[in-house]
């Protein structure tokens, strides 16, 4: 059986309702192959640990191979990478997690087994303090080698982290709560596109998956499982970042948090993790490396944050001229420069790389 046919069966197994990754793995171990599951008699399926009468019937009567065939065509068309949990290149850290996805899909130049994998997560409502913590942490990584930073490409701390990685040339991976046929939020499309050069996008969802809140909570286990350490930068008393921290803790992975003032709403979650001994307090990369017993390897030259004698395009000059008057929201820039949101977002990201512009919470920007 060729590789494409095997992939079709692998995808089909992940699509059977009510199976789940744990039972799917039990099925493979018991039957001996993925394709054999679809050829096995219903009575034999019932004997597999965790598979009862109802589930065995679902497998025997499932009609998912045609949908899986469509997905194989989608994967070929867009040259996506797949990782089945028995493959050699499946992320070894994630494989140690009992509920690790059966199959992963990626786009870009992804290395899921870098020497030091770190998750950075936090609130969607990042403050200036949170942004500064992210920037300082990632900036320090620019002097090292071996780091890869994982986050969820969501609003707030997530996208701030990815942007900082792009700025300081650190490989970064965005874990999505949907398939690779779309991007949510769409405002982060230009950031995601740049991430493909050194890093990329990862998901366990097939194309045409509906945007659903539960899917984003489910993807948090991938963020936690991929990494040696999870860092919470900012979080309120409840939020997805705390869920990711709890999952990382359940995997016996190290959890860290940046502290904040007791009166700060978006530091309460971090302070709570530290107070309950669920996370170790850190203030910088040196703290992380000390607690992880990582020996820093300095073999990369320091990046110049602001380019000298920068040549700006006409549209870049329009935006920087407007920002000379003070801080502006992105929608204000769109209106005053008479440019579409997607264009302005892409230009602002390029200006950040050049050290000309800094993004602030609430989609506000200022000149550096």
**Domains of the chain: residue spans and CATH:** 3-76 (1.10.150.20), 108-292 (3.40.50.450), 314-367 (1.10.10.10)
- pLDDT at position 297 is 62
Strand pairing category for 364-367 and 357-360:
antiparallel
pLDDT at 303 over 50: no
pLDDT at 172 over 70: yes
State the pLDDT confidence band at 352, using cuts at 50, 70 and 90: confident
- pLDDT at position 336 is 87
pLDDT at 60 over 90: no
**Mind giving me the DSSP string for 308-336?**
SSPPPPHHHHHHHHHHTTS-EEHHHHHHH
Taken in order 232, 234, 237, 241, is the CA torsion positive or negative? negative
pLDDT at 1 over 60: no
pLDDT at 175 over 70: yes
Helix (H, G, I), strand (E, B) or coil at 293: coil
- pLDDT at position 49 is 81
Which is higher by pLDDT, 273 or 52? 273
**204-225 average pLDDT score:** 94
pLDDT at 15 over 70: yes
Interhelix angle 341-353/157-168, rounded to 10 degrees, is 50
| Euclidean distance between the first and the last CA atom of the chain, given in angstroms as a whole number | 58
- pLDDT at position 3 is 59
CB 354 within 8 A of CB 320: no
pLDDT at 304 over 50: no
State the pLDDT confidence band at 365, using cuts at 50, 70 and 90: confident
- pLDDT at position 290 is 93
Percent of the chain predicted with pLDDT > 90:
62
pLDDT averaged over every residue in the chain: 90
**123-139 average pLDDT score:** 96
- pLDDT at position 309 is 53
CA-based nearest residue to 159, from 123, 129, 128: 123
pLDDT at 83 over 80: yes
pTM: 0.81
DSSP 188: G
- pLDDT at position 334 is 82
- pLDDT at position 310 is 65
pLDDT at 221 over 60: yes
pLDDT at 9 over 70: yes
In whole angstroms, what is the distance from residue 16 CA to residue 286 CA? 46
- pLDDT at position 2 is 58
Percent of the chain predicted with pLDDT > 70:
94
- pLDDT at position 307 is 53
């Amino acid at each position: 059986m060729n590789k494409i046919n095997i992939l079709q069966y692998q995808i089909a197994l992940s699509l059977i309702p009510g199976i789940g990754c744990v039972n799917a793995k039990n099925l493979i171990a018991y039957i001996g192959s993925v394709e054999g599951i679809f050829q096995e008699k219903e009575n034999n399926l019932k004997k597999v640990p965790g598979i009862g009468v109802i589930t065995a019937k679902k497998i025997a009567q499932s009609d998912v191979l045609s949908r899986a065939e469509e997905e194989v065509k989608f994967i070929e068309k867009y040259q996506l990478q797949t990782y089945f949990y028995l493959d050699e290149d499946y992320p070894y850290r994630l494989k140690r997690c009992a509920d690790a996805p059966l199959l992963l899909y990626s786009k870009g130049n992804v290395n899921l087994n870098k020497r030091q994998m770190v998750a950075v997560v936090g609130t969607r409502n990042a403050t200036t303090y949170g942004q500064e913590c992210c920037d300082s942490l990632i900036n320090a990584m620019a002097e090292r080698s071996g780091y890869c930073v994982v986050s969820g490409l969501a609003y707030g701390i997530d996208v701030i982290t990815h942007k900082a990685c792009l700025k300081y040339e650190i490989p970064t991976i965005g874990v999505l709560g949907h398939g690779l046929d779309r991007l949510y939020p769409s405002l982060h499309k230009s950031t995601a596109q740049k991430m493909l050069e050194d890093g990329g996008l990862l998901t366990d969802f097939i194309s045409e998956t509906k945007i659903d809140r539960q899917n984003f909570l489910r993807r948090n286990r991938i963020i936690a499982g991929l990494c040696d350490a999870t860092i919470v930068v900012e979080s309120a008393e409840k939020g997805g970042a705390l869920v990711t921290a709890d999952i990382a803790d359940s995997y016996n992975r190290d959890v860290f948090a940046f502290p904040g003032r007791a009166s700060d709403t978006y530091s309460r979650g971090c302070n709570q993790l530290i107070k309950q001994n669920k996370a170790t307090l850190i203030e910088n990369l040196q703290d992380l490396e000390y607690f992880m017993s990582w020996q820093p390897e300095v073999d990369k030259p320091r990046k110049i944050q602001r380019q000298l004698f920068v040549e700006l395009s006409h549209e870049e000059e329009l935006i920087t001229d407007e920002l000379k008057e003070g801080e502006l929201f992105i929608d204000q820039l769109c209106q005053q420069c008479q440019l579409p949101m997607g264009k302005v977002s892409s230009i602002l990201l390029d200006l950040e790389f050049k050290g000309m512009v800094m993004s602030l919470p609430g989609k506000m920007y200022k000149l550096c």
